[in-house]
Amino acid sequence: MDCTRNVVLEAWMTEHGYSSNRLADTVNKAVEEFTGRPGGLDGSSVRDWKAGRVKWPKSATRKALENVTGLPAVALGFVPRGRKQVVPTSPQQEDPDMKRRSLVGGIAAAAVAAATPGTSSPRRIGMSDVDRLQRRFTEIIASDHRHGGRLGIEQRAAALADEALNLQNAGSASQRVRSSLYACAASFRSSAMWAAIDGRRYEDAKTHMREAQTLAEMSGDQAIKFRIWSHAGTLYRHMGRPADALAANDVARNLHITRRDPMFASLGLAREAAIHGTSQNHSATRRVLDQSQDAMLRATQGTYRPVWLLAFYDQAELDSLALSAYLSLGNHQMAEFHAHRSLSTLRPHMVRSRAITTTRLAHAQLAQGDADAATSTAMLVPADSATQHARVSRMLQEFGAALRAVAPDSSTTQTWIEHTAGWRIPEQDAKHTGDVL
C-alpha cells in the first residue's frame, strides 16, 4: 500500500498548534454538531491521516474536519479515491528573507538548466508544478487566518509569486499551464496585498495591488480578479476613501462570476455595505446587507469555489462586515447584534477574525454606556493579537482612550490600564491615522 505522508496536514497542525489527540477531539465535537452523535476518532486516527494510511476519510469526518480547518479536504493533502497523489514540498519554518532567497535561487538555477544546451531535453512545466504552488497558497491562507497582517506573511507570499513567474521561463509549458501559473502568481500577490492591508502598510498594499491586477488579467481567472478588486475596495475603505472603495468594489461585483455564483455576489455586496457605512449612507447599508444575505441563501452547496473563499466567507463573515458597517453608522445596538451572531458561528481557525470581531464588540458595548461589559469583552482578545496585529492593536488603543474619556476614575478603567501595561504598539501604527474600525 502506498503510504506517502500527508505533509500538508502535518504543516497545518503544526501551524495551528494541534496534537493528534487534540485534533481528534475537536473533529469529534464538530461531528456531533451536525449529526447529533460525537465522532469516534482518537489520536491514532489522526496519525493514520498524517502517515498516509488513510488518504480519504469518511464523509462525516471530512465535513467535520473541513468545518474545523476552514479548508476543503483536498487542500489539506487528502486524495479522493481513484486519484493519484502528488507529493507536496515540505513547508519550511525559516526566516522569510532566507526562504525568499532559497525560492528565487532554486528557480533561477532551474531556469539556467532549462536554457543550457546539453544532452537532456528542456524541462516540461506541468500541472504538478501548479499543484505544488497551490498547496503553498493553502499554507499562506492558513497563516493569514491565524496571524494576519504580519510582514513575514507578506514577504513569503511575494516570494512565492516570484517563484510562479520564474517557472514561466524554466521550461516549456502548455497555454493552460501558463495561464494557471499567472493565476498562482496573482493569488500569491493578492495575499501579499491583503497582509499589507491587514498590517496597515497601505503604500505597500497598493504596490502589490498593481502587480496582482496585471497578473490576474494575464491569467484570465475570474475568481482571482474578483479577489484582487474586492481587496482593493477594502484597502480604500480603510484609507478613508469611500468613493474609490466603491469604484474598486464595483469592478469585482460586475465580473460575470458574481452572476454565476451567488456566494461571490454575497461577498461583493457585504463589502459594499461596509463601504456605505463609512459614507454614512444608512438606507444603502441596510438595503445592500439584505441583498447580500439573500444571495448567500441562494448559494448552493457543493459548487466548486477557490480555497481562499471557502476558507473565510460564510455567515460569520457576513455578520462581521455588517458589524463594521453599523459601527461606522453609529448604530451600536445593531452592531452588537451582528457581533454576537458572528462570534457564535466563527470557525475555530479564524483566530484573526475572532480578535477583530471581539474588539469591535467592545467598542459597540462601550458606546452604549456599558463600560464594565465592554472592558470584559476587550480583555478576551489574546495578547498576541492585541500586540502583534496592527489593526487590532490600533482599535484597542482607541478603545482605551474612549474608556478613559467616559470613566476616567473608575475601577474598570484602572483594570484596563493594568491589563495593557506591558503592551507595545506595532511600529507601523504610528504611520497611519483615520482608517475605520
Q: What pLDDT, in 10s, does the model give residues 368-380? A: 999 999 999 999 9
Asked if 388 and 180 count as a contact pair (C-beta separation under 8 A), the reply is: no
Is 213 contained in some domain? Answer: yes
Say how far apart CA 313 and CA 176 lie, in whole Å.
Answer: 28
The predicted structure's pLDDT at residue 256: 95
Which has the closest alpha carbon to 67: 91, 108, 35, 113?
Answer: 35
% residues pLDDT > 70 (the chain): 86
Distance from the Cα of residue 88 to its chain's centroid: 21
Quick check: 268 pLDDT over 70? yes
Asked which of 198, 220, 242 is the last residue of a domain, the reply is 220
Say how far apart CA 407 and CA 416 lie, in whole Å.
Answer: 11
Q: Which residues pair with 124 in a beta bridge?
A: 172
Here the cell at position 397 is 488603543
Q: Which helix (H) or strand (E) is 121 found in, with range?
A: none
Residues 104 and 151 in one domain: yes
Residues 18 and 59 in one domain: yes
pLDDT tens digits along 60-95 = 898 888 888 877 777 787 877 654 444 443 333 334
% residues pLDDT > 90 (the chain): 51
Length of the chain: 437
Quick check: 186 pLDDT over 70? yes
3-state secondary structure of 379: coil
Quick check: 207 pLDDT over 70? yes
Residues 109 and 69 in one domain: no
Quick check: 216 pLDDT over 50? yes
Asked which of 220, 244, 275 is the last residue of a domain, the reply is 220
The predicted structure's pLDDT at residue 258: 96
Quick check: 158 pLDDT over 80? yes
DSSP type of residue 124: B
Is 238 contained in some domain? Answer: no
Number of domains in the chain: 2
Using alpha carbons, list the distances in angstroms from residue 264 to 20, 174, 191, 261, 416.
35, 29, 18, 6, 40
Residues 25 and 105 in one domain: no
Is 329 contained in some domain? Answer: no
Residues 151 and 38 in one domain: no
Asked which of 174, 197, 220 is the last residue of a domain, the reply is 220
Residues 100 and 195 in one domain: yes
Is 275 contained in some domain? Answer: no
The predicted structure's pLDDT at residue 360: 96
* Residue 34 pLDDT grade (very low, low, confident, very high; cuts 50, 70, 90): confident
Using alpha carbons, list the distances in angstroms from residue 273 to 40, 66, 292, 350.
43, 28, 9, 22
Quick check: 405 pLDDT over 70? yes
Is 29 contained in some domain? Answer: yes
Residues 215 and 102 in one domain: yes
Which has the closest alpha carbon to 64: 42, 39, 36?
Answer: 39
The predicted structure's pLDDT at residue 113: 38
The predicted structure's pLDDT at residue 145: 77
- What pTM was computed for the model? 0.71
Is 1 contained in some domain? Answer: no
Is 160 contained in some domain? Answer: yes
The predicted structure's pLDDT at residue 122: 63
Residues 50 and 156 in one domain: no
Residues 104 and 21 in one domain: no
Distance from the Cα of residue 157 to its chain's centroid: 12
Residues 24 and 131 in one domain: no
Through-space distance between the first and last CA atoms of the chain, rounded to whole angstroms? 53
Is 280 contained in some domain? Answer: no
Lowest mean pLDDT among 63-77, 107-121, 248-262, 350-364: 107-121
Residues 20 and 99 in one domain: no
* Residue 52 pLDDT grade (very low, low, confident, very high; cuts 50, 70, 90): confident
Three-state SS sequence of 240-308:
CCHHHHHHHHHHHHCCCHHHHCHHHHHHHHHHHHHHHHHCCCHHHHHHHHHHHHHHHHHCCCCCCCCHH
Query: Domain range spanning residue 100?
Result: 95-113+123-220
* Residue 436 pLDDT grade (very low, low, confident, very high; cuts 50, 70, 90): low
3-state secondary structure of 218: helix
Q: Which residues pair with 172 in a beta bridge?
A: 124
What residue type is 60 in one-letter code?
Answer: A
